[in-house]
Amino acid sequence: MSDFTVQQKVRFQHCDPAGIVFYPRYFEMINATVEEWFAQRLGVPFETLHGPLGAAVPTASLSVDFHAPSRLGDVLEFGLRPTRIGRSSVGLAVEAHCGGERRLSLESTLVFTTSDANGPAPWPEEMRARISRELGGTVSDA
């Protein structure tokens, strides 16, 4: 589904009394995946984004299906790819697998905001270029 993947192990802290991942913890793992994607693919680690850039990328909406439960010790592979880019937004698709089994699939929209704009702001050029490249297809002279 995606060529960007992050492995995360299901820890004790993620599991509930039923012995499976408590679903709010999945969103911490998903956010960690997004952080790594920003750092590795967009060249903007979250400490740069939230620090010098005075920016943030809050989640505006998301939709998720939990296909099968995950258990303590499972090593989950989170794949992420962008699905669309707007003036100040980006659509992301995330899936998590363990072995051959799909555990969850999510679609979300993040919005680029800055403290200067006190809300949504256009993507900086370099970030826009990199997201576009990730969106794939024929990327000409990127």
Site of interaction with a second copy (CB under 8 A): 11-13, 15-20, 22-25, 27-28, 31-32, 35, 45-47, 50-51, 56, 58-66, 69, 71-73
25 vs 133 by CB, closer to a second copy? 25
H/E run at residue 113 = strand 113-114
- Least separation in angstroms between CB 142 and a second copy: 26
- The residue among 20, 102, 104 whose CA lies nearest residue 62 is 104
In three-state secondary structure terms, 108 is strand
Distance CA 24, CA 99 (A): 22
Spatial contact of 106 and 63, defined as CB atoms under 8 Å apart: yes
12 vs 100 by CB, closer to a second copy? 12
- Least separation in angstroms between CB 81 and a second copy: 20
35 vs 77 by CB, closer to a second copy? 35
What residues are paired with 93 via a beta bridge? 81, 107
Q: Phi, psi (5° rounding) for residue 79?
A: -105, 140
19 vs 137 by CB, closer to a second copy? 19
- Least separation in angstroms between CB 61 and a second copy: 5
